[in-house]
Amino acid sequence: MKTVYILATLDTKGAEAAFVRDQLALLKVSAQIVDTGCLGAPAVLADIGREEVFQYAGTTLSLLRQKGDRGEAVKAAARGVTALIQDLYARGDVAGVLGLGGSAGTIIGTSAMRALPIGVPKVMVSTLASGTVRQFVGDKDILMMNSIVDILGINRISRPILTNAARALAGMVLLPAAPAVGADKPLVAVTMFGVTTTCVMRAKESLEKAGCEVLVFHATGNGGQAMETLISEGLIAGVLDLTTTELADELCGGFLTAGPDRLTAAGKAGVPQVVSVGAVDMVNFYAPESVPAAFKGRKFYQHNPVVTLMRTTPEENARIGADLGAKVAAAKGPKAILLPKKGVSAIDAAGQPFDDPEARISLFSAIRRQAKGVDILELDQHINDPEFADAASRKLLDLMKVGKRL
């Protein structure tokens, strides 16, 4: 049997790591403890000691102890345990990973987990799990479990939580893996937001009828990052990037940015892509008080109590369009851009709060200037019109040559 690796700083989480190991043993799951601590003495014996972890990080335990810098030790532990787990996985010896920690332990444990492929069981018991965890989870399938109390002692609160963490991971490890259904079909990535759902649902149906398997990514920053990662890993045969709203958040400082590399992976990999401008009319903030003071006086729409949308201006649309156009123009593979002249989201339409023909003209003009040589189709439809969805899915199938192959 492969091994579950328990990642913990044994100077502060030794008893808890041993408890989890014993719970896994009761469930007939082989487990080893990896010590990611540095400054204090380990409370229990590790199966893989901190000396080996720091060797993987390119340093030594004695050097880090001499420096006495906890921050540097945490960074080194994260590097080292990541390299260690990657090495063990390459040898075929990783059944799953379970981490225990506060802020430092969570950084260390999830660094290793993010280096593993999707599908490898990953559970992080953390004091930070009830807050914003994107910086820990990234675009991987990490299960964050709130420890409620600090991970310091086995008590009536920590005992059931640590037991459930062990049981959760054991279930993932011991039960049969999800069946590989549809592995023979071309895998297509599609991006969606609530305000482009109608378009995406129809396009998805068309792609599936043509014999594709469709992955829909919620364009919330993390979704775009996850899609870009899977494209770069060679898993995606075609991209229907209908909802590029993350570009607007990146430009304006919204909360749902996917970073500056959004809309680049397909181009670098030569993967066929059809790109549109879904929801670039909006920048995402949380509750109204989260909107920066610099945007006072702008046009806003309260999507729900915790999501506030800000309408992008014609000037911002010009910059978004230039970014989108340049990235698509640089793509190596087959590509096309589809532009909906009657609106780019459910609230950018005639009579809707974000309807702004001037902003759309600015957006489209910038795209045309930057994407010279790219097949650009301007359709006299709204993005959520069925005709637009059909045109987008047909165009991608044509670029992928799926129709001819089938």
Assign 217 to helix, strand or coil: strand
Give tens-digit pLDDT for 194-236: 999 999 999 999 999 999 999 999 999 999 999 999 999 999 9
Give tens-digit pLDDT for 155-191: 999 999 999 999 999 999 999 887 776 678 999 999 9
- Percent of the chain scoring above 90 in pLDDT: 95
pLDDT band at residue 134 under the 50/70/90 scheme: very high
Looking at residue 182, its pLDDT comes to 65
Q: What is the DSSP letter of 131?
A: S
* Assigned token pair, 348: 């950018």
- Whether the pLDDT of residue 38 is over 60: the answer is yes
Tell me the C-alpha distance between 17 and 42, whole Å.
11
Kindly give the residue spans of alpha helices, DSSP state H, lying in 115-221: 134-137, 158-174, 197-209
Q: Which of 359, 336, 350 is nearest to 381 (CA)?
A: 350
Phi-psi region of 34 (alpha: psi -120 to 50; beta: other; left: phi over 0): beta
41 membership: H or E segment, kind and range: none
369 membership: H or E segment, kind and range: helix 357-370
184 membership: H or E segment, kind and range: none
* Assigned token pair, 253: 């400082």
Domains contained in the chain, CATH given: 3-174 (3.40.50.12020), 187-405 (3.40.50.12030)
Looking at residue 323, its pLDDT comes to 98
Q: What is the DSSP letter of 216?
A: E
Give the residue carrying structure tokens 């909006």.
282
Strand 238-241 with 300-304, pairing: unpaired
Task: Number of helices (H) and strands (E) in the chain: give both, helices first.
Answer: 15, 14
Give the residue carrying structure tokens 């700083």.
9
Give how far Cα 359 sits from Cα of 59, 244, 366, 375, 393, Å. 54, 16, 11, 22, 26
Give tens-digit pLDDT for 284-320: 999 999 999 999 999 999 998 989 999 999 999 999 9
Tell me the C-alpha distance between 293 and 290, whole Å.
9
**Hey, what's the torsion of the CAs at 243, 244, 245, 247, to 10 degrees?**
170
Give the residue carrying structure tokens 């043993």.
25
Give tens-digit pLDDT for 39-72: 899 999 999 999 999 999 999 999 999 998 999 9
Please compute Rg for the chain using Cα positions: 24
- Taking residues 368-384, what's their average pLDDT? 97
Q: Which of 45, 171, 36 is nearest to 100 (CA)?
A: 36
